[in-house]
A and B are shown apart, each in its own frame.
Chain A
């Protein structure tokens, strides 16, 4: 690989972010797709794999006596601190990574070399798992009011829209094309969600090019058509998800928002979600808080407030709640837009759909939802998540915010979702990993040109194959929470928005609960299933035996001993759990008294052994562990990180580049 100046560096130290004194020495490898750190030490040889596409920044810090520090921040919130002995090596690694982390063409991305060893047919099947045609049919369209339009069949009207689009029946091609000319990037109003029960719908578009006074007859007819498609209601809401000030500023540029005087029967509403730049800075600030070394509670809460992150999450949620309420309770259709209609609009439409329709709270439904509101409607994955080297100002955690909204809802409605937190975390991971083709490019048109489906694999099939790992054990499809619309509370004192440490401190396992209720219950449910099967077998045998005894005809089956399996979650007390640094006093304490010299050094050593923040470093050896390793219970290794999965799945050898 021409970009790898330094394929292998030895005696590199991997630091623990929470304590600089806890470090492991190992070898660093750069391959075409991964950065790999392999710990020295014959027994464990723990490996840390980081995909190049996960790297968000690399920082070379001032050389110290021990070497040259290199800080790698990842898009999945992993932070890796390395110290490389030689400055020159460090520089080479740095220069190589800078290039590797910023590929310039799609072909460099991992999904084009990733090979999960599926044959062509399996790959094609994988791509068919999520079918949007099927989804629109499930919603109940086409019907008397809605029809599929082929006006965009070769992306002639709007190159960031899909080819197949649902529009009101009364909207002729003329109206659609006319309306598209009056909308930013020609993103005309199209159906996002249709509510079978009452004909109300959620439509989406970009902002109108109204300026201070411009109007467009076809666009007005388009909105009329949307209203008419819901005969029970005499108006529609037009929801502009931007803050009013932003929308007004857009008018000066010949864009803007609908004038209620020009459109008959609309109710116009601003919602006030900030733009991608504000969100990017907000996340940055929150991550700085996450990275603080032993922050006080005040530092943390103040930093969290100051970042504004939860405020933005709440704004998105509130918008979704407003729309869901309009559709479900008032039976009124809603047209949602922001500026271009591909960021805030996608967030808000998908939150509203999730609240309205229990199907989207199932595993399959959630995949469909992302495919519908994000992938097909041209959310710019490549720009927002920086898959290819591009304008850093285009990067913003838009879908991350949606994923967090889902998590916040899961916390409030623990039985309402078929999937668990891990599902969300793994989806977030793969949006950045580029291991699967789903989220490549900025639009359906670009993906078709790249022949994504022929050349890469689908994430959905991969997740579906491992769905047992992603199940929420509390979900039951007949539960009240799994049916109908969810009605979350709005005020923070009623709906506690929490900091999501499972995501933003994902790799600091020491900060998370040491026992997982979800994993525990999943293991119990799996055992239950085995018991059910065994019960059936036993009953059958009993029946046979009774029959054969009465017929005096003896056929014996061998006694199956499955008792071992029943012990499956009682004996795994291996996950280490050691105390954290609870006091700085202990460190400074030893005023060494001569008779107790050994005692003192033992004290210092113990400090060095406090490694609770890294579960892997402290794995297995510590008898004083507080907990059994619940993740081991998950039969298919649910505790594995996707990055490690990819390492195992791929043909990539560690020494490939060497």
Chain B
């Protein structure tokens, strides 16, 4: 297919661009296969806008006389307005943008066409391999093994080809367990707590159904993670009644009689359309320019967004507490085990494991607990908060996770190697990107699309020293301890960096960040100079002594 067919008017002059907190600028609008480009005639090139079509969430058009106005709402929540003279041009451009921003074939997406302008120092597609994780694990315990039972994705289509499972469970047993778990997602290792050897496993719901089916291999598998005489916790991300209802549809939960060493705790983490609605309501509130404080607070409350944040953080803290404080192993699941389950397991690791608070460690966490774990990014991030479509697969599951990380970051501002911009960058790339990392719904699909061969990895770009420097937290000091955030409402705040990002003047906050960097930089410079001088003096004094 040629993109040119979709572009009815490739270029329009005398277009006026309006962005919040910027003066309107006049310039030329160009449409290419993957970008909307706006460029003013100014010499300094400052007024250029490159917008990926895939970043466009919705567009509205309206006319006053022959002057058309297109309002473009982006997945990163930005809203821009283009005034285009000429009704036909405007209509053409609007329909082209609409067509180009809703291409349904993945292989037409920009990552398949993007050619990087930078030298690849390290191929991000092979930066985070499960084999490396396993090697690290093997240095502290020999109770686990790598299994290739899923190498052709036949046992579990949403799992990666290799997984870490208890050594005592053979592949045959895994196949049986897979049949007993929703979507074949048998319990597998998510996290090993070095301090006390406790583990966090994740899976999907067991298929007990109404007649209480059981699976001996499943019981053996989860029990294999327990020390003798110790207990474990199953954290079910659904409330009890929802879990009970799931039985009617063939799902269910671990019953006490069959799992006597395990205690179930039901939490309530919202999913799918409820989250999406909450997201839409919150963004609507954030775009309400009304000056009325009551209205703002009631809309914020009605969106329920912060309630979801609090529930999720609470559940993650609970999982971490079971492991670290109760010295118990934990199994986390909801229904499919691809959404709330991953939110909980990955956040618990942020709390427990200092490595996850470094840049590389956090990247590894996202690869392991989200990409390889089969979070359906393509479905969930197909549309953002401005979508009008009523598809039920979209949900800001990943954004919610990122925001929880931000909440913890806010409470422990010195304990993370990365800064807020790093989290915002990940949010953007999950929804629209030149990189192939977040394409596809699982490793199986990524392999079929040959993403590692045909597209560039986000990590190849991010981990370049030039880019990394933008994402480093100047006041980071490695903190080897478990960090327990407060989940009280007073301690949680709206993530301004994402939700008010385009609605507030950013200058003052940027200045503050620059100042923080300067303070640290100057201190380090001085330290280096003092140390150099000290060495120099010592040398001279030695020489002195020798002469004497």
Tell me, rounded to whole Å, the shortest Cβ–Cβ distance linking A78 to chain B.
15
A534 to B436, CA, bound (A): 52
Q: Is the CB of A535 within 8 A of B526?
A: yes
A296 to B289, CA, bound (A): 27
Provide the B537-548 mask, 1 if CB < 8 A to any CB of A, else 0: 110110110001
Chain A to chain B contacts (Cβ below 8 Å), 13 pairs = A297-B306, A310-B297, A474-B516, A479-B515, A493-B288, A493-B289, A494-B289, A510-B488, A531-B526, A538-B533, A579-B317, A589-B263, A625-B481
Q: Is the CB of B229 within 8 A of A579?
A: no
A162 to B266, CA, bound (A): 66
Closest to A307 in B: B297
List chain B residues, Cβ under 8 A from A295: 488-489
In the complex, whether B490 has a CB less than 8 A from a CB of chain A is yes
Partner pick for B304 among A298, A299, A566, CB 8 A cutoff: A298
A585 to B321, CA, bound (A): 13
In the complex, whether B504 has a CB less than 8 A from a CB of chain A is yes
Provide the B322-336 mask, 1 if CB < 8 A to any CB of A, else 0: 101110000000000
Q: Is the CB of B301 within 8 A of A298?
A: yes
Partner pick for B314 among A494, A513, A559, A582, CB 8 A cutoff: A582
Number of chain B residues whose Cβ lies closer than 8 Å to a Cβ of chain A = 89
Partner pick for A494 among B230, B322, B500, CB 8 A cutoff: B500
Provide the A382-420 mask, 1 if CB < 8 A to any CB of B, else 0: 000000000000000000000000000000111110000
In the complex, whether A532 has a CB less than 8 A from a CB of chain B is yes
In the complex, whether A636 has a CB less than 8 A from a CB of chain B is no
Interface residues of B in 490-520 (CB under 8 A from A): 490-494, 496, 500, 503-505, 508-509, 511-512, 515-516, 519-520
In the complex, whether A270 has a CB less than 8 A from a CB of chain B is no
Question: Given the known A-B contacts A300-B489, A414-B509, A535-B533, are A603 and B289 also in contact in the complex, defined by CB atoms under 8 Å?
Answer: no
In the complex, whether A42 has a CB less than 8 A from a CB of chain B is no
List chain A residues, Cβ under 8 A from B533: 535, 538-539, 542
Closest to B475 in A: A520
Question: Given the known A-B contacts A413-B508, A515-B413, A626-B484, are A528 and B294 also in contact in the complex, defined by CB atoms under 8 Å?
Answer: no
Question: Given the known A-B contacts A299-B489, A517-B413, A577-B483, are A624 and B324 also in contact in the complex, defined by CB atoms under 8 Å?
Answer: yes
List chain A residues, Cβ under 8 A from B512: 414-415, 474
Tell me, rounded to whole Å, the shortest Cβ–Cβ distance linking B413 to chain A.
5
A508 to B489, CA, bound (A): 13
Q: Is the CB of A554 within 8 A of B321?
A: no
Partner pick for A545 among B307, B484, B537, CB 8 A cutoff: B537
Tell me, rounded to whole Å, the shortest Cβ–Cβ distance linking B229 to chain A.
7
In the complex, whether A268 has a CB less than 8 A from a CB of chain B is no
In the complex, whether B245 has a CB less than 8 A from a CB of chain A is no
Q: Is the CB of B490 within 8 A of A501?
A: yes
Q: Is the CB of B477 within 8 A of A302?
A: no
Q: Is the CB of B511 within 8 A of A479?
A: yes
In the complex, whether A524 has a CB less than 8 A from a CB of chain B is yes
Q: Is the CB of B411 within 8 A of A513?
A: yes
Tell me, rounded to whole Å, the shortest Cβ–Cβ distance linking B57 to chain A.
19
Provide the A492-515 mask, 1 if CB < 8 A to any CB of B, else 0: 111111110100010010111111
Q: Is the CB of B490 within 8 A of A511?
A: yes
Partner pick for B479 among A480, A505, A539, A628, CB 8 A cutoff: A628
In the complex, whether A46 has a CB less than 8 A from a CB of chain B is no
Partner pick for B301 among A305, A480, A586, CB 8 A cutoff: A305
Question: Given the known A-B contacts A511-B491, A545-B544, are A311 and B293 also in contact in the complex, defined by CB atoms under 8 Å?
Answer: yes
Question: Given the known A-B contacts A490-B291, A512-B491, A521-B516, are A541 and B537 also in contact in the complex, defined by CB atoms under 8 Å?
Answer: yes
List chain B residues, Cβ under 8 A from A582: 314-315, 317-318, 321, 487
Tell me, rounded to whole Å, the shortest Cβ–Cβ distance linking A298 to chain B.
6
The 9 closest A-B pairs by CB, nearest first: A300-B489, A492-B296, A414-B512, A305-B297, A626-B483, A301-B301, A311-B293, A531-B526, A297-B307
In the complex, whether B529 has a CB less than 8 A from a CB of chain A is yes
In the complex, whether A61 has a CB less than 8 A from a CB of chain B is no
11 extra A-B contacts, CB within 8 A, seeds A318-B291, A494-B500 = A294-B488, A298-B307, A308-B294, A314-B293, A492-B296, A493-B287, A498-B493, A525-B519, A545-B544, A577-B484, A606-B326
A198 to B286, CA, bound (A): 37
In the complex, whether B414 has a CB less than 8 A from a CB of chain A is yes
Q: Is the CB of B290 within 8 A of A491?
A: yes
A624 to B320, CA, bound (A): 13
List chain B residues, Cβ under 8 A from A269: none
In the complex, whether A462 has a CB less than 8 A from a CB of chain B is no
Q: Is the CB of A535 within 8 A of B516?
A: no
List chain B residues, Cβ under 8 A from A650: none
Interface residues of B in 209-238 (CB under 8 A from A): 229-231
A492 to B297, CA, bound (A): 9
Interface residues of A in 294-326 (CB under 8 A from B): 294-302, 304-305, 308, 310-311, 314, 318
A310 to B295, CA, bound (A): 12
Q: Is the CB of A493 within 8 A of B484?
A: no
Tell me, rounded to whole Å, the shortest Cβ–Cβ distance linking B350 to chain A.
12
* Interface set of B (CB-CB < 8 Å, partner A): 229-231, 260, 263, 265-267, 285-294, 296-298, 300-301, 304, 306-307, 309-310, 314-315, 317-318, 320-322, 324-326, 410-415, 475, 477, 479, 481-484, 486-494, 496, 500, 503-505, 508-509, 511-512, 515-516, 519-520, 522-523, 526-527, 529-530, 533-534, 536-538, 540-541, 543-544, 548
Closest to B285 in A: A493
Question: Given the known A-B contacts A528-B523, A580-B486, are A491 and B289 also in contact in the complex, defined by CB atoms under 8 Å?
Answer: yes
A298 to B287, CA, bound (A): 21
Most interface-central of A573, A591, A603 (chain B CB within 10 A): A603
Q: Is the CB of A517 within 8 A of B414?
A: yes
In the complex, whether A213 has a CB less than 8 A from a CB of chain B is no
Q: Is the CB of B534 within 8 A of A538?
A: yes
Partner pick for A535 among B230, B260, B301, B529, CB 8 A cutoff: B529
Tell me, rounded to whole Å, the shortest Cβ–Cβ distance linking B526 to chain A.
4
Q: Is the CB of A580 within 8 A of B317?
A: yes
Closest to A498 in B: B493
Most interface-central of B490, B533, B537 (chain A CB within 10 A): B490
Q: Is the CB of A542 within 8 A of B519?
A: no
A630 to B413, CA, bound (A): 12
Q: Is the CB of B523 within 8 A of A310?
A: no
Q: Is the CB of A524 within 8 A of B523?
A: yes
Partner pick for B541 among A512, A559, A578, CB 8 A cutoff: A559
Closest to B520 in A: A524
Q: Is the CB of B293 within 8 A of A481?
A: no
Q: Is the CB of B544 within 8 A of A556?
A: yes
Closest to B411 in A: A513
Q: Is the CB of A521 within 8 A of B325?
A: no
Closest to B266 in A: A585
Provide the A17-47 mask, 1 if CB < 8 A to any CB of B, else 0: 0000000000000000000000000000000
List chain A residues, Cβ under 8 A from B266: 585
A585 to B318, CA, bound (A): 10
In the complex, whether A631 has a CB less than 8 A from a CB of chain B is no
Closest to A301 in B: B301
List chain A residues, Cβ under 8 A from B544: 545, 549, 554, 556
